[in-house]
Amino acid sequence: MSEVQSVRNVLHRASPRLRLILFTFHSTDSLHVHMSVDAPLFPSPFLPDLHHDTMQSFDRRSLAHSDADSSTTHSSATAPNLVGPGRTIGLLFDWLGQGLQSFLNKRAVQLNFGPEAVARDIRRLRRHEQISLMVRFAAPYAHINKAQEKKLRSLCKSLLKYAGSPVRSTQMKALEEIKTLAIEDPIVCDFLSACNLQHLVPKYREPDLIMATSRAVGCIENAKVHELWRHTLLLTYNIDDIFHNGIYQLALSDINVEALKGSLRNGNASFTAARYLTKLIRISNPVIHVLLARPLWDSYMKTVASFPATIEWSNVNEEISSSHWPHSQIPIWL
């Protein structure tokens, strides 16, 4: 057996970790051997370049994989804050959902369901179209029997349940109806106050929904504010009748103007008091406008300037742009 054949047999039985891949004999005096050795797992002082190149290759593969995952996330996720076709699909679904919700709400009203339908039934039962606001304030229980009272309590409970709906738009409509009815009708306010107000816990952590819920609870529970402003409106209504009968007699001494101003400044009662103030402004007596409505509105404007976040701006804008003020008494505040 030749010397070369002996070396080949030895290398054939060697560990696979050290592999000779080629022997080249150019002559019997020179032997060139090319070997390939596995790179160690940890840095080696003997193979620094090999380790560095291997780690760089690994990092490039990792970054490429990460970029691919990121690209996939941005392209397929439906969140509105991610770039890609997924966002377009998400926005489309949102639009379709809003359209379906709007259609269902309109259909619910047509079928006599929803908060607007319940509020309409309450007003029909209380005959708001036939009985004026001042008559409801003066004698709230004068035009209701036992059967109607039972029905009215049931409707108030239904309206509160709609205020606890998981659908945001339904919640907002129910809360608005609660606020309006609590001011328009004393008996409805009493029945709402006697119900379980746990339904008024907001279902979503949104500032406008939390604010609407807080105002609805305030409209129901601020009994002293209701009593103060109803008494004021009744007195001004009587003065209005006397004035139009040709007898000029001003009897505003029974009206506690400072208490009215205090309710407009009170953060918990300001919203309710401001809605009563708009009803006072709409009384078409210029004497009341000059001696009562104007000073109260000026006081309210100071609250608007100091605490703008708590103000119902739609109410303010409506009154500023309305024609309820006499032409010579149009107030300029802002």
Query: For the chain (length 334 residues), average pLDDT per consecutive 10?
Result: 56 49 42 43 44 48 48 54 67 70 61 84 94 90 91 95 88 94 95 87 80 90 94 80 49 82 90 92 80 90 85 78 52 44
| 250 part of a folded domain | yes
Q: CA–CA separation, 143 vs 136, rounded Å?
A: 9
Q: Is 31 helix (H, G, I), strand (E, B) or coil?
A: strand
121 with 210, same domain: the answer is: yes
100 with 162, same domain: the answer is: no
| 229 part of a folded domain | yes
207 with 117, same domain: the answer is: yes
Q: Are 201 and 163 in contact (CB under 8 A)?
A: no
Give the DSSP letter of residue 328: G
Residues in CB range of 104: below 8 A, 6 or more apart: none
321 with 239, same domain: the answer is: yes
116 with 102, same domain: the answer is: no
Chain center to CA of 33:
78
Long-range Cβ pairs for the range 119-128 (8 Å, 24+)? 119/159, 119/177, 119/180, 119/181, 121/155, 122/152, 122/155, 122/156, 122/159, 122/181, 122/185, 122/188, 123/181, 125/151, 125/152, 125/155, 126/152, 126/185, 126/187, 126/188, 128/184, 128/185
Q: CA–CA separation, 225 vs 264, rounded Å?
A: 10
Q: CA–CA separation, 176 vs 168, rounded Å?
A: 12
Boundary (domain end) residue, out of 86, 107, 128: 107
| 135 part of a folded domain | yes
Q: CA–CA separation, 310 vs 215, rounded Å?
A: 10
101 with 117, same domain: the answer is: no
| 47 part of a folded domain | no
| Amino acid of residue 131 | I
Boundary (domain end) residue, out of 187, 216, 245: 216
Q: Is 18 helix (H, G, I), strand (E, B) or coil?
A: strand
| 116 part of a folded domain | yes
247 with 202, same domain: the answer is: no
Q: Are 181 and 189 in contact (CB under 8 A)?
A: yes
88 with 116, same domain: the answer is: no
| 163 part of a folded domain | yes
Q: Is 111 helix (H, G, I), strand (E, B) or coil?
A: coil
Q: Are 236 and 192 in contact (CB under 8 A)?
A: no
- Residue 269 CB neighbour total at 10 angstroms: 21
CA-nearest of 191, 188, 171, 169 to 180 is: 188
Residues in CB range of 168: below 8 A, 6 or more apart: 203, 204, 206, 209
Residue 39: its pLDDT value, please? 43
245 with 318, same domain: the answer is: yes
Q: Which residue has the tokens 């009206």?
A: 255
Q: How many domains does the chain have?
A: 4
Give the range of the structural domain holding residue 148, as residue numbers without chain letter: 112-216
267 with 236, same domain: the answer is: yes
Indicate the pTM of the whole model: 0.64
Q: Is 33 helix (H, G, I), strand (E, B) or coil?
A: strand
Structure tokens at 121: 């039934």
Report strand pairing: 31-37 vs 18-25: antiparallel
Boundary (domain end) residue, out of 216, 232, 264: 216
162 with 243, same domain: the answer is: no
150 with 200, same domain: the answer is: yes
